[in-house]
Amino acid sequence: MNIINDIKYAFSKANIVEKIIYINVFLFLVTVILTKFSIQWFALPSNLDTFLFKPWTLISYAFIHQNLFHVLSNLLVLYYIGNLFLDFYTKKQFLNFYFLGAIFGGMMFLLYYYFIHKTNALPLAGASAAVSTIFIAMATKTPRYALRLRFIGSVELWVLAAIWVALSILQLVNPDKGSAIAHISGAVFGFIYSKQLEQGNDIGKWFETILDFFTNALKPKNKSPFKAVYKTKKRANANEVSKTKQRKINDILDKIGKSGYESLTQEEKDFLFRAGKK
């Protein structure tokens, strides 16, 4: 139980990049245990008709990895580039880039197999399209930013991004090139989105609005409406007391104006004295 509590605590304290990584690691472990089930229900099928019965796979595929090297390469890049991303963009924009990159890459994957009339290709799984979106967006934003790599030294971000994209391009020689198309499409989307933001046009704002809607809908409602009622009544009572006090002060001042200060009772003099001190 202590381990579970430690994991929950670490997740609650993590930033948005680290939370995405934790989710990917958890689902990778689930996929290792339940490989057939995970691929069948959460990987993106190459057949458009099959996809229409499982539309959630357009997003869920980006959290499914089938081998250790695949998940490690994606999450290591996401950790370093994603945290750098947060120095220049907001966490909501990170989610926009990540999810919209995955969606765009998945759509290009589906369209490719639809147009070549191939329906028996391997399903798409992995965060590579989403990670490519984040990577290329940062390389577009700060191409001359240098990362210091062990045993290599400082390498500018645009060089690393170019190598990352080149590896995807080389995969186009494979018979099942749909995954490479998804990766390259994610990279293209990251470039376009970053350039649009530089011009003040957030093309992912609509997706942020959708996320905000669902986030607010899932937030727990206030279980005790009496607090608000109590505060409202308390404020109203305070206003009433203030008005009553002011009326009494006005009455005393009117009395002084008509009959002089000596006409006041001791109680009225004390009240006026206390009111004058506040």
* Strands annotated E in the chain: 146-149, 153-156
- Residue 195's identity, in one-letter code, is K
Cα dist from 112 to 115, 123, 176, whole Å: 5, 13, 11
Chain-centroid distance of CA 266 in Å reads: 67
Task: Please give the Cα distance from 177 to 218 (Å, whole number).
Answer: 39
**Global pTM value:** 0.75
267 pLDDT band, cuts 50/70/90, is confident
Cα dist from 15 to 18, 22, 83, whole Å: 5, 11, 9
Give bridge partners of residue 155 from the DSSP assignment. 147
Give domain limits for the chain: 2-218, 226-277
Checking if the pLDDT of 118 tops 90, the result is no
Q: Report the mean per-residue pLDDT for the chain.
A: 86
Residue of 14, 41, 10 whose CA lies nearest to 27: 41
268, burial (CB in 10 Å: exposed 0-12, middle 13-18, buried 19+): middle
Render pLDDT for 66-115 as a digit per residue (tens, 0 to 9). Answer: 889 999 999 999 999 999 999 999 999 999 999 999 999 999 999 999 99
For the chain, give the percent of residues with pLDDT over 90.
57
273 pLDDT band, cuts 50/70/90, is low
Render pLDDT for 214-263 as a digit per residue (tens, 0 to 9). Answer: 888 877 766 555 555 555 555 555 566 666 777 777 777 777 666 666 67
The domain 2-218 is classified under which CATH number: 2.60.120.20, 1.10.3720.10, 1.10.260.40, 1.20.1540.10? 1.20.1540.10
DSSP state, residue 124: B
Cβ 65 vs Cβ 31: under 8 Å: yes
Task: Please give the Cα distance from 152 to 131 (Å, whole number).
Answer: 23
Q: Residues of 85-103 as b/e, b for ≥16 C-beta within 10 angstroms?
A: beeebeebbbbbbbbbbbb
